[in-house]
Amino acid sequence: MFTYFSFYFCFGQKRRSVDKTVSADDNNMCAIDLLATVAGHLSFESGSSLMSVDKLIEDHRVKKEVPEEEKPLMPVAFSEENPYQGSLSPCGFSSVINGKLEDDAEGFSYSGATDSCQVSNFSQDIKPVIDGDAVVSVGSTSRTQVPSIGNCASHGLRDDVNLFSRDDDENFSGYVRPRGTKNSPRSVPRIGDRRIRKILASRHWKGSSRHTDTKPWRNYYLQNQRSYPIKKRKYYDHISDSITDDYRLRTKMHRGSRTVSSMKGQGASFVSSNSHVKLRIKSFRVPELFIEIPESATVGSLKRMVMEAVSTLLSDGHRVGLMVQGKKVRDDNKTLHQTGISQDNNHLDSLDFSLEPSSEMPQLLTSHPLEHAYKEMLPVCEAATTLDNVLESDHHDSALFPSDSLGNNNMTEDSKAMVPMALTDLSPSGTLCRKSKRSEQQQQQAAQRRIRRPFSVSEVEALVQAVEKLGTGRWRDVKLRAFEDADHRTYVDLKDKWKTLVHTAKISPQQRRGEPVPQELLNRVLNAHGYWTQHQLQLQQNVNKQQQETPSQTEALLLH
């Protein structure tokens, strides 16, 4: 009868606990890293250059010697009428992706009508009736940001910036490799604000991971939280959000009505005389969505990105939290009445539903807009540390986040402002705080299996694109090329995904599961797989053959 239950799709519930220790070193690191970051920002900004498309095309055609990086590039002859035209286009991957996004927007059934509908819901702030009574309205898309967990978002971000880059790896995806762990010399600094932001975003990861993180899965947690470049932070009002709440279902309780309107038609007997509480969820906020998209992109592609981002968020497993008068209700067995959710309760004028990170999700902190990051960095850090301590007492909910602090005072009506953003990259303090949490979290949940994150179609697209070009034996390069920003996708993941893709492509459509991958993509998978498999065989044969001849010839052949 209550929407509340409908929303209850939780997975894990372990709460991340907190490590209180934040050393002075860490604090210093904050400042230093930030400064360094800013410096990097400035220096990068001054050297931008864009190549014209024509120039690129020219370069591509004329270019004979393929950089080492590109070596096993498919033969030119093959490109005449091969299935890899796209990958050989002057703009390479970028252009393709961009093109794809736009095409998709035109009607490519990516996620179906339902999704589109949802998108429009989000953007238009309509209020669909859910589960009889509750009304959910989703708004403020204009401030929506892409989730750090998001994947599609990363594509969009990546792809639109370096639109006019060359086809070869070096210039195509010369991403900054800010993370200390990634020290590949193969990349060159990119120019433009996105890069800057990336630096900003990544610097302190380096710092934090340098201290404690050694295990891959920890890295996952770390990077998982990275948020993607933020563009218009200035719009966001001062943000203050609970430590655990990701999103928030704001509700208003309406008292007095004994019957649920939607049930009237089904017979009064069902409604009985029991007291019913009518919940009206005024808004459903989805924070931590950062979207950056070229102006030339279509509205449809934007919607799609948002949809994908939102889907990712929701599918990643969250649990619903309920707060009554600012106090979190943990006991699921309590009745609403016992909890104080009653039509007779006069002072109960608002509830708060919240989506909390499941056990597998990292703790999310919220922070202030980027513009304030510098000034408030340390204070925020300290504050958060304090919060951490309080968290330990397990009383944080009511103590630190009385209903007022949740922002329902002036936020219930409009869905504006309230765009909590994860205290991730932009504020070094976030790193510190999260790090401190994580350290204990690590002890508690030993090696935990990562969350399952089905590949989106656009991700598959990107993967296929990269593999078409790079082949099936260079997953690290594939990763760097197409998933540099998707920190939750390791090259092993990509390899595995490719494996399953090949398998998927071979089986009948009826046997496939999950989000359907466009046949066109699967065909490309098959083609590329075949091509590279053969390529490998040839290579092997050459080796064998040459081994019987002169070694020098062998080398020559291999190099060629």
Partner DNA sequence: CTTAGGG
Partner DNA sequence: CCCTAAG
Q: Which residues bind DNA (CB under 7 A)?
A: 181-182, 184, 216-217, 447, 449-453, 472-477, 488, 491-493, 495-496, 499-500
Residue with Cβ nearer DNA (228 or 475): 475
Residue with Cβ nearer DNA (108 or 217): 217
User: Which residue shows structure tokens 């699967």?
Assistant: 522
What is the torsional sign of CA 398, 401, 402, 407?
Answer: negative
Q: What is the closest distance, in whole angstroms, from the C-beta atom of residue 170 to DNA in the complex?
A: 16
User: Which residue shows structure tokens 């509750």?
Assistant: 134
Q: What is the closest distance, in whole angstroms, from the C-beta atom of residue 480 to DNA in the complex?
A: 8
Residue with Cβ nearer DNA (228 or 236): 228
What gap in Å lies between CA 387 and CA 86, rounded to an integer?
A: 51
- Strand ordering across the sheet containing 318-324: 278-285, 247-254, 350-357, 318-324, 327-328
What gap in Å lies between CA 238 and CA 246, rounded to an integer?
A: 16
Q: What is the closest distance, in whole angstroms, from the C-beta atom of residue 148 to DNA in the complex?
A: 14
Token digits of residue 9 = 């799709």
Residue with Cβ nearer DNA (350 or 472): 472
Token digits of residue 146 = 């892409």
Residue with Cβ nearer DNA (133 or 459): 459
Residue with Cβ nearer DNA (207 or 407): 207
What gap in Å lies between CA 547 and CA 163, rounded to an integer?
A: 44
Provide the Cα torsion 163, 167, 170, 172; round to 10°: 20
Q: What is the closest distance, in whole angstroms, from the C-beta atom of residue 227 to DNA in the complex?
A: 18
Residue with Cβ nearer DNA (179 or 248): 179
Q: What is the closest distance, in whole angstroms, from the C-beta atom of residue 449 to DNA in the complex?
A: 4
What gap in Å lies between CA 149 and CA 309, rounded to an integer?
A: 8
What gap in Å lies between CA 414 and CA 379, rounded to an integer?
A: 29
Which among 205, 146, 175 is positioned nearest to 458, based on CA atoms? 146
Taking the CA of residue 555 as centre, how many other CA atoms within 13 Å lie in the half-sphere pointing to its CB? 3
Q: What is the closest distance, in whole angstroms, from the C-beta atom of residue 455 to DNA in the complex?
A: 7
Secondary structure class of 463 (helix, strand, coil): helix
Token digits of residue 281 = 């969820």
Tally of residues, the chain: 560
Residue with Cβ nearer DNA (19 or 487): 487
Q: What is the closest distance, in whole angstroms, from the C-beta atom of residue 82 to DNA in the complex?
A: 22
Burial environment of residue 120 by CB neighbours within 10 A (0 to 12, 13 to 18, 19 or more): middle
Residue with Cβ nearer DNA (77 or 446): 446
Q: What is the closest distance, in whole angstroms, from the C-beta atom of residue 173 to DNA in the complex?
A: 15
Residue with Cβ nearer DNA (12 or 473): 473
Q: What is the closest distance, in whole angstroms, from the C-beta atom of residue 220 to DNA in the complex?
A: 7
Token digits of residue 501 = 């893709």
Amino acid at 249: L
Q: What is the closest distance, in whole angstroms, from the C-beta atom of residue 134 to DNA in the complex?
A: 32
Residue with Cβ nearer DNA (453 or 512): 453
What is the torsional sign of CA 172, 175, 181, 184?
Answer: positive
β-strand pairing of 247-254 with 134-135:
unpaired
Q: What is the closest distance, in whole angstroms, from the C-beta atom of residue 526 to DNA in the complex?
A: 17
User: Which residue shows structure tokens 């360094």?
Assistant: 36
Q: What is the closest distance, in whole angstroms, from the C-beta atom of residue 214 to DNA in the complex?
A: 8
Provide the Cα torsion 494, 498, 499, 503; round to 10°: 150
How far CA 146 is from CA of 115, 302, 457, in Å, comes to: 17, 11, 17
Residue with Cβ nearer DNA (352 or 477): 477
- According to DSSP, the residues that pair with 283 across neighbouring strands are 250
